[in-house]
Amino acid sequence: MRPSTLILALSLLSLQHATIVRAQDTDRKQIVARYTTAASQSGDAAKGKTVFESEKSNCRKCHSVGRKEVKAGPDLMVIGDKFDRDQLIQSVLEPSARIHPDHASHAITTVDGKVITGVLQSQSKEFIELINDKGDTVKIALQDIDEQSRSSTSLMPADLYKVIDESQFRDLIEYLTTLKQKNGVAYPGMPDTFKTLAKPARVEPLHDESLRFDHPVCILAKPGANNTYMIVEQKTRHVYQLTVTPAGSKKERWADLSHEAITGTYEGVLCMAFHPDFLNNRKYYLNYHLRENDIFSPVIVERTATADLSSDAGGTSRRLLKIEQPTVLHWGGMLAFGPDGYLYIGAGDGGPQEDPLGNGQNLRLHLGKILRIDVDHQEKGLPYAIPKDNPFRNAAAGALPEIWAYGFRMPWRFSWDTKTKEMYVGDIGQNLYEEINMPRLGENHGWNVYEAFTPFSKQYLRDGESFTPPVIAYRRKHGVSVTGGYVYRGNRSPSYVGKYIFADFETKTIWAMTQKNRKLVDVRVIGEVPEKPCSFGVDHDGELFIVGYQGTIYKLVLDDSVYE
């Protein structure tokens, strides 16, 4: 065949392939549209349960319903509270459209060319364990791995319509909508309904639309500089300085951590804290992610600002603490200096789902803990010292001296009441509840023996162990990812003074609550955020900010609202 003829033939084949692909895409869109329309109508939940449990649909291979079985997909016991009907339809027909990172697929290519795909269960220095789409555990030695990668692709097939018809799909969706938590106030700190204020709070952008941020996760008021704030961007791994004046706002890059931290869907730089004596020693601290020897770890580092405090001084960070994890999940994310001048660190249980290794209760690990260290001194070969009253400083049996409190799953954000010095922790829950805890020195807050007020597992229950319950927990129908905030001590809204304000990342709801002796007194829905609220901040006057994960920093305006 002549070269020109060959080129023409190949072009025709390529065009034919593209035409077939477009036709297939069109056909699939039409099928999805038909199934979506069918499932938008009410179905028969009893028949839908039969569809769910049938071998034809294969739903049971990847999902359990309240049975605590090891599966590749999430337990669906309260899926009807998490998602509305439209979201359920999309999740089944397009399973990779909004997959949670906990259930993203992990692909491993072995040195002999074999490809193994599953959901990451655990990882050590010797092995990786995956759960495949059949629910089997596959253990692979690290020495046998040539390459591994994580993607946002679900193991759940996107062509369920090929095995069940439209009426069966409608019934399946109807069944899933019925999977909800039961009503009823089981505990005083677990309200079933929330009163909404007659005059809710408002939120206003702190900056112009042109100054939006890329996945911001933290805001801090800069010491010694009114109306100047530090904004941490998770994915870019940058820290920006935002100055707000009546004449306008100015945004300047203050630090770049991309040479040290990794990035990803939720990996990156998570939090920043200024040293209490920052104006003199110029030190500040970061919590970010890295991967060394193929092990994922959050790390705590110390950095220095320039002499005029106008930006980061550059160079390599001084590493204080590295927390190795069995998976890339549940890493905590917070660090802040407490009223006592020590640095507190929030460490998650490290995953996977349900903490099957019992990390939250294991005092030989940093995982699932609130840690406390003294960054101003060093001892025992460490780049920091252990505060003298840390509960396990002199403990036997290998308990780690950095541990201040334990039994947490994902302590994403915490803070202290500037008046009472009490600590508040927003701990992101597992299947059923989100919770706010008020930990004290040496306390065990339950995970994974307890989730909020309720027993979860007896596997790591120790004889004689006591547990401190949360102040408040809310069910999945109210939200699925708590964002801890601050006790309001500003001057612009007297009715809110002393109220703890927090939010939910997914529902965008803002609450305020009153507690006494760590018992819930009252709680109110006080407003809503246009973007997903991933963090709170406070200015020099005690007024609050809310960080919208889609890029906007908001002022929480309480002036016209009355807490009653």
pLDDT band with cut points at 50, 70 and 90 for residue 21? very low
* Same domain, residue pair 60 and 160: yes
* Same domain, residue pair 54 and 161: yes
* Same domain, residue pair 69 and 98: yes
* Same domain, residue pair 73 and 169: yes
Tell me, yes or no, whether 448 lies in a domain.
no
* Same domain, residue pair 57 and 169: yes
* Same domain, residue pair 167 and 19: yes
Which positions ≥6 away from 276 have C-beta within 8 Å?
Answer: 337, 341
Q: How far apart are CA 166 and CA 426, in angstroms?
A: 42
Q: What is the pLDDT of residue 55?
A: 85
* Same domain, residue pair 49 and 164: yes
Tell me, yes or no, whether 504 lies in a domain.
yes
Mean pLDDT over the full length of the chain: 91
The packing angle between helices 85-93 and 166-177, to 10°, is: 130
Which positions ≥6 away from 259 have C-beta within 8 Å?
Answer: none
502 φ, ψ to 5°?
A: -145, 180
Tell me, yes or no, whether 63 lies in a domain.
yes
Q: Are 409 and 374 in contact (CB under 8 A)?
A: no
Question: Across the beta sheet with 553-557, what order do the strands follow?
Answer: 202-205, 553-557, 544-548, 533-538
Which positions ≥6 away from 66 have C-beta within 8 Å?
Answer: 75, 77
Q: Are 354 and 362 in contact (CB under 8 A)?
A: no
Work out whether strand 195-196 and strand 519-528 pair parallel, antiparallel, or are unpaired: parallel
For 65-107, write each residue's pLDDT tens digit: 887 777 778 888 888 888 889 988 888 888 877 766 667 777 8
Tell me, yes or no, whether 77 lies in a domain.
yes
The vertex-469 CA angle with 467 and 475, nearest 5°, equals 135
* Same domain, residue pair 59 and 156: yes
Q: What is the pLDDT of residue 17?
A: 53
Tell me, yes or no, whether 159 lies in a domain.
yes
Full domain range(s) for residue 555: 191-211+477-564
Kindly report the pTM of this predicted structure. Answer: 0.88
* Same domain, residue pair 100 and 195: no
Look at the block and give the residue holding tokens 């993607």: 151
Q: What is the pLDDT of residue 27?
A: 79
Q: Is the pLDDT of residue 454 over 50?
A: yes
Q: What is the CATH number of the domain that holds 83?
A: 1.10.760.10
Q: Is the pLDDT of residue 494 over 60?
A: yes
* Same domain, residue pair 487 and 536: yes
* Same domain, residue pair 156 and 207: no
User: In the predicted model, what is the mean pLDDT of residues 313-319?
Assistant: 97
Q: What is the pLDDT of residue 406?
A: 98
Tell me, yes or no, whether 520 lies in a domain.
yes
**Residue 507: strand, helix, or coil:** coil
Tell me, yes or no, whether 217 lies in a domain.
no
* Same domain, residue pair 87 and 206: no
Tell me, yes or no, whether 375 lies in a domain.
no
User: Which region among 12-16, 17-21, 49-53 has the lowest average model confidence (pLDDT)?
Assistant: 17-21
Most confident of 158-162, 171-175, 502-506: 502-506
Which amino acid, 245?
T
Question: In total, how many domains does the chain have?
Answer: 2
